[in-house]
Structure 1
Amino acid sequence: MTQGFDYDLVIIGAGVGGHGAALHAVSCGLKTAIVEAADMGGTCVNRGCIPSKALLAASGRVRELRNAHHLKSLGIQVAGVEFDRQAIADHANNLVTKLRGDLTNSLKRLDVEIIQGRGKIAGSQKVTISTGSGEKTVTAKDIIIASGSIPWVPPGIEIDGKTVFTSDDGVRLESLPSWIAIIGSGYIGLEFSDVYTALGAEVTMIEALDQLMPGFDRDIATIAERVLIKPRDIETKVGILAKTVKPGSPVVIELADAKTKEVVEVLEVDACLVATGRIPDTKDLGLDSIGVDTNRGFIPVDDRMAVLSGGEPVPNLWAIGDATGKMQLAHAASAQGVVAVENICGRHRLIDYHSIPAAAFTHPEISFVGKTEVAAREMGKEEGFEVAVAKSYFKGNSKAIAEGEADGMAKVIYRKDTGVVLGVHIIGMHAADLIHEAANAIAQRNSVQTLAYFVHAHPTLSEVLDEAYKRAVGSH
């Protein structure tokens, strides 16, 4: 057990990653403590996945009930749909409170010691915790850093938390501006544009790169633009930089050409959401005391989740989640936590990023796992194989047609020689649920030849993937 240490394992950070690591550590018989400076549950539970999905669920229903044309096609008529902004905000806040309590209670039930305070490395196998009443140092055979991330605010942008804010404040939905600028067209920007337009706001989306949704597969981004942006009250400005943003009434935004940096327009809006990504929360963690250099704040790790110093693992020190910069996803952090604990227990296990799915919970949803077509073709060039693509469409799916939700596509990217699946991208109803079949197929390194003969229930949305697999092997 503890062999002269206070704990077998101390985890710095009680987000989804730290929580997942703690649960697995207890199941492996490790005496575990978790250190948290702020709210239990970290970004995901308090300021990210959970409250944003609550807002998307409520606003999505408003959009659906106001879509008279869609409802009429199903033989339904609804008049005068109204909503209460505060009640929607309360729905999100109440969910946060409940899940934060559930997470805390699950740790207490398993005798994980929860220490409130800011933890930092104080040397090999030592953690110093700053609490309201002073400082204390504990020892542990192993330490996992799960300190998470914070929103990145580019230079020139002033945040006041009311008229100019990040997603941290946005999820509270304290106001509903008539006209809001959203800086960034990634997952966060897309999801918030979905919420705001459903509730009647006008959106101007500002993207510094030369195309909208730069991280997405191009075919998916094209459909997303047609379905999620063009029919809605969203104006887009691409290749444009928000050079300065000043809070107030109105919010004043200087827009510049992203390449020349010359100001091309001044925008005055009611509010501005800054959705420009997240950076690691790794300042003042004491990593320098043990010779670990971060890379732009990210902690270097190997695929066992061991922290690296000069390319070599640091004994008994591990890092997981957003702080590592590998995949900024709650479930990736959780998976990394399990992998770290397995290696702490002497069972060799590696993380397989290739099979970890991601999703945007827009209406309709977007999901993907593995490589984009561009990345797969680049890999093919390097390794000497050809890449093939098969697509199928929701408009040919009986369940999607019955729901009146037939916009969407599934795209399967695979090796021409072996048929092994390299990536799957879906836009359409329940895409975030559908992607897991593909993620498991990639985890098993399945080929389209194998997948094409699996049986899917009819009529279900899963047949969209079934159809794509069958098209890949030419049986449809």
Structure 2
Amino acid sequence: MSEQFDYDLVIVGAGVGGHGAALHAVANGLKTAIVEAADMGGTCVNRGCIPSKALLAASGRVRELKAKEHLKLLGIEIGEIEFDRSAIATHAGNMVNKQKGDLTNSLKKLGVDIIQGWGKLAGIQKVDVDGRIITAKDVILSTGSIPFVPPGIALDGKTVFTSDEGVKLDWLPSWIAIIGSGYIGLEFSDIYTALGSEVTMIEALDVLMPGFDPDIAKLAERILIKPRDIETKVGVRAKKVIPGSPVVIELDTGEVLEVDACLVATGRIPATKNLGLETVGIESDRRGFIEVDETMATKVPHLWAIGDATGKMMLAHAAAAQGVVAVENIAGRAAIIDYQSIPAAAFTHPEISFVGLTEPQAKTKADAEGFEIATVRSYYKGNAKALAEIETDGFAKIIYRKDTGELLGAHIIGIHASDLIHEASAAIAQRASVHNLVRNVHAHPTLSEVLDEAYKRASHG
């Protein structure tokens, strides 16, 4: 380290992205500090991935145990099922505390300096932490995101709230409106209906689950929404939401709903205000994102940005991958991020996962580059393990080039989809062809054979 700097690297934001970058920086011999204004672990650990998965695990067990007809087919009969909402909430809280402690301790053990306070740029290679100036050869901004609340919606944190409050599961409303049908809206509809709430899902766009492959969204509506206590309003915007008892929701159709609670799940926006970007001569784009290239570099030398603040792929594991890429370049080894091979999942029951391109995206790419695509599906109902579990709802869909067989995308809906997707993720990272993937051997009987069957159908035409 040059003695003119306090650190080789200062990371602003100790979420999953900042944590991953710090670990990799230490492994590369960089003297590193991480600055955090709030909770170590950021959104994922405190208000996102971790507590929501704990709630989904508990509520999913309740759903399974209440499915008496399904259990009867397995030869199992049980009595009435009871649950303790506060104990479920405590489980989620315990998970948060453990993960936060583990993350903090891992940084301390490796000698990363943890600096509590609001960090912002004070010029090139300078970070101001509550008035204290720290210098670093390189700076990574990893400041994450916050829930987006559309105009006209008032929050009180109790009857009208975002996922930040939702993961605390302070109470169970009899009837809750969920605004948005993306990952967050879907997962919370799964939690609430499993625990006995009725849901009205309000989606402003013309289709439910607009971010998913259309075929996946169609089946998800049939198995995750229609059989449950979920009413849907599609192509409808909530123009005004007033907290209280009841919560009053005015729709742009003129209809007025009166519900017990409202979860606002309308996406997230970058937390990039008051970061001192103007001190280095850069501005965030009109949506607030910090522009970076494939190496995670901004246009300012020695300044990098990763995670939700960049808006590239707003997922915790994507942020961690971006952090590794940034540190690789800081260490002098050229590296770029490969977004096409980063998987995503919704942890509903059953799960949804995907990697790569959706069919519409693949068609757009094919038209632009002059090739043709093809798609195949393979179904859980033909899989021996799924049949043994009596969990046969679902399918795997793959999208590939007709000429080379290159795998462009994989989409799975069904049990353990979030685990199965990584085989396809690795294949896309290698730009593998279905003609080679068909030679992979899968254990029998396993759910992984759903993808195996898809590759065979693609390769054999």
TM-score scaled to structure 1, two decimals?
0.96
Q: Who is 1:192 aligned against?
A: 188
Structure 2: distance between partners of 1:68 and 1:474 = 41
Q: Who is 2:259 aligned against?
A: 269
Q: Who is 1:214 aligned against?
A: 210
Structure 1: distance between partners of 2:73 and 2:322 = 46
Q: Who is 1:20 aligned against?
A: 20
Q: Who is 2:297 aligned against?
A: 306
Structure 2: distance between partners of 1:419 and 1:329 = 28
Q: Who is 1:472 aligned against?
A: 458
**Partner of 1:35: helix, strand, or coil?**
strand
Structure 1: distance between partners of 2:111 and 2:4 = 19
Tell me the CA shift for residue 78 of structure 1: 1.0
Q: Who is 1:163 aligned against?
A: 159
Structure 1: distance between partners of 2:124 and 2:222 = 54
Tell me the CA shift for residue 3 of structure 1: 3.1
Tell me the CA shift for residue 4 of structure 1: 1.6
Tell me the CA shift for residue 98 of structure 1: 0.6
1:68-147 maps to which residues of 2 (within 5 A)?
A: 68-130=68-130, 135-147=131-143
Q: Contact 1:304/1:350 (CA < 8 Å) preserved in 2?
A: yes
**1:307 counterpart letter in structure 2:** T
Structure 1: distance between partners of 2:207 and 2:302 = 43
**1:302 counterpart letter in structure 2:** D
Give % identity: 74
1:231-246 maps to which residues of 2 (within 5 A)?
A: 231-246=227-242
Structure 1: distance between partners of 2:229 and 2:3 = 62
**1:376 counterpart letter in structure 2:** A
Structure 2: distance between partners of 1:105 and 1:33 = 14
Tell me the CA shift for residue 474 of structure 1: 1.7
Residues 227-283 of structure 1 deviation map (CA, whole Å, 9 limit, x = unaligned)? 000000000000000000000000000011xxxxxx420000000000000000000
**Partner of 2:181: helix, strand, or coil?**
coil
Q: Contact 1:398/1:459 (CA < 8 Å) preserved in 2?
A: yes
**1:298 counterpart letter in structure 2:** F
RMSD value, Cα: 0.6
Q: Does 1:404 align with 2:390?
A: yes
1:312-331 maps to which residues of 2 (within 5 A)?
A: 314-331=300-317
Q: Contact 1:8/1:142 (CA < 8 Å) preserved in 2?
A: yes
Residues 71-123 of structure 1 deviation map (CA, whole Å, 9 limit, x = unaligned)? 00000011110000000000000110011000000000001000000000000
Structure 1: distance between partners of 2:423 and 2:164 = 32
Residues 200-235 of structure 1 deviation map (CA, whole Å, 9 limit, x = unaligned)? 000000000000000000110011001000000000
Q: Contact 1:2/1:31 (CA < 8 Å) preserved in 2?
A: no
Tell me the CA shift for residue 161 of structure 1: 0.2
Q: Does 1:254 align with 2:244?
A: no
**2:85 counterpart letter in structure 1:** R
| Aligned residue pairs, count | 460
Residues 383-422 of structure 1 deviation map (CA, whole Å, 9 limit, x = unaligned)? 1100000110000000001011110000000000000000
**1:277 counterpart letter in structure 2:** G
Tell me the CA shift for residue 447 of structure 1: 0.3
Please identify runs of 4+ aligned residues in structure 1 that moved more than 4 A: none
Q: Does 1:291 align with 2:281?
A: yes
Tell me the CA shift for residue 449 of structure 1: 0.1
Tell me the CA shift for residue 13 of structure 1: 0.1
Corresponding residue to 1:374 among 347, 360, 363: 360
**Partner of 2:250: helix, strand, or coil?**
strand
Structure 1: distance between partners of 2:8 and 2:439 = 47
**Partner of 1:8: helix, strand, or coil?**
strand
Unaligned runs of 5+ in 1: 257-262, 309-313
Q: Contact 1:167/1:188 (CA < 8 Å) preserved in 2?
A: yes
Unaligned runs of 5+ in 2: none
**Partner of 2:302: helix, strand, or coil?**
strand
Tell me the CA shift for residue 146 of structure 1: 0.1
Structure 2: distance between partners of 1:252 and 1:401 = 45
